[in-house]
Chain A
Amino acid sequence: MDSIRQQAIDYLTGSLSSEERVTFEYELKNSESTRNLLADLNDDWSSLALLSQPSSPDPDLRSRTLMLTQDPPDLEPFLGSDGVERLRQNYSKPASRYLGGDGTVDTSEVKDISLKDGIFRTYEHLLRLLPLVSGDSPAAFGDFSDLQKFVYDNLPLENELSKWTDPLLPGEDPVAQSLQRSLLASLPSLAHFTDLAGSGKIGLSEVRRIFYLCRDQLKIMRASFQDLDPQQLAEDELIRVHGTHLLRQKWSGARHSFFNQAGLASCGNFFEGPISERCVEFAEYDSNLYCLANLIANRSTAGGFQIELIKDSVPGCVLAIAHAEVDSKLDEELNAVASSNLSSLPAVLSKDACLWSLLQGSMRRGFPDHSVGELADASFFGKQRLEGETYLWFAWPEIENAHSGAVASTEKPGQ
Chain B
Amino acid sequence: MPLIDTIHWENIRDRSPNSLAELYDGFAGAMFSLALEVLGDRWEAEEVIQDVFAYVWKKPESFSPAKGKFSSWLLVITRNRSIDRVRSRKRKVVSGEPIEVLSNRQDLGSKDGAEEASKSDERSFLRSAFKQLPEDQREVIELSYFKGLNHLEISEQLQLSLGTVKSRIRLGMEKLKRALSNLRS
Binding site for B on A (CB under 8 A): 5-6, 9-10, 13-15, 35, 38-58, 61-62, 64-66, 68-69, 134-136, 140-143, 203-204, 208, 211-212, 245, 248-249, 252, 407, 409-410
Contact = CB atoms under 8 A, between A and B. Distances in A.
Given A42-B76, A55-B113, A66-B20, A136 B107 contact: no
B66 A35 contact: yes
Interface in B104-139: 104-118, 120, 122-123, 126-127, 130
Contacts of B32: 55-57, 61
Interface hub of B46, B72, B110, B116 (most chain A Cβ within 10 A): B46
B41 A134 contact: yes
B29 A135 contact: no
Contacts of A252: 50
Given A61-B50, A409-B85, A13 B169 contact: yes
A211 B120 CA distance: 33
A135 B47 CA distance: 11
A249 B47 contact: yes
B interface, by DSSP: helix, strand, loop or mixed?
helix
B122 A135 contact: no
B34 A49 contact: yes
Nearest to A32: B66
Interface hub of A35, A50, A62, A142 (most chain B Cβ within 10 A): A50
A62 B32 CA distance: 11
A54 B33 contact: yes
B77 to A, nearest CB: 10
Interface string B144-185: 111010111000000000000010011001001100100000
Contacts of A208: 42-43, 46
B109 A204 contact: yes
B144 A52 contact: no
Given A141-B107, A141-B109, 12 more contacts: A43-B68, A46-B71, A46-B72, A49-B78, A50-B1, A65-B28, A134-B41, A135-B42, A136-B40, A136-B42, A141-B106, A245-B51
Closest 4 CB pairs between A and B? Answer: A56-B113, A142-B109, A142-B108, A135-B41
B131 to A, nearest CB: 10
Contacts of B151: 10, 13, 15
Nearest to B181: A44
29 contacts: A9-B173, A13-B150, A13-B151, A42-B73, A43-B69, A44-B173, A47-B1, A48-B126, A50-B127, A51-B37, A52-B33, A53-B33, A53-B103, A53-B105, A57-B32, A57-B49, A61-B28, A62-B28, A65-B53, A66-B21, A66-B24, A68-B54, A69-B21, A140-B42, A142-B108, A203-B109, A249-B47, A410-B41, A410-B47
Interface string B60-78: 0000001111011101101
B107 A69 contact: no
Given A39-B68, A211-B43, A49 B30 contact: yes
Given A15-B151, A410-B43, A142 B107 contact: yes
Contacts of B44: 135, 409-410
A397 B36 CA distance: 36
Contact of A52 (B36, B67, B88, B110): B36
Nearest to B127: A51
Given A55-B110, A143-B108, A39 B67 contact: yes
B90 to A, nearest CB: 10
Contacts of A57: 28-29, 32, 45-46, 49, 110
Contacts of B76: 42, 45-46
B57 to A, nearest CB: 5
Contacts of A249: 47, 50
A136 B41 contact: yes
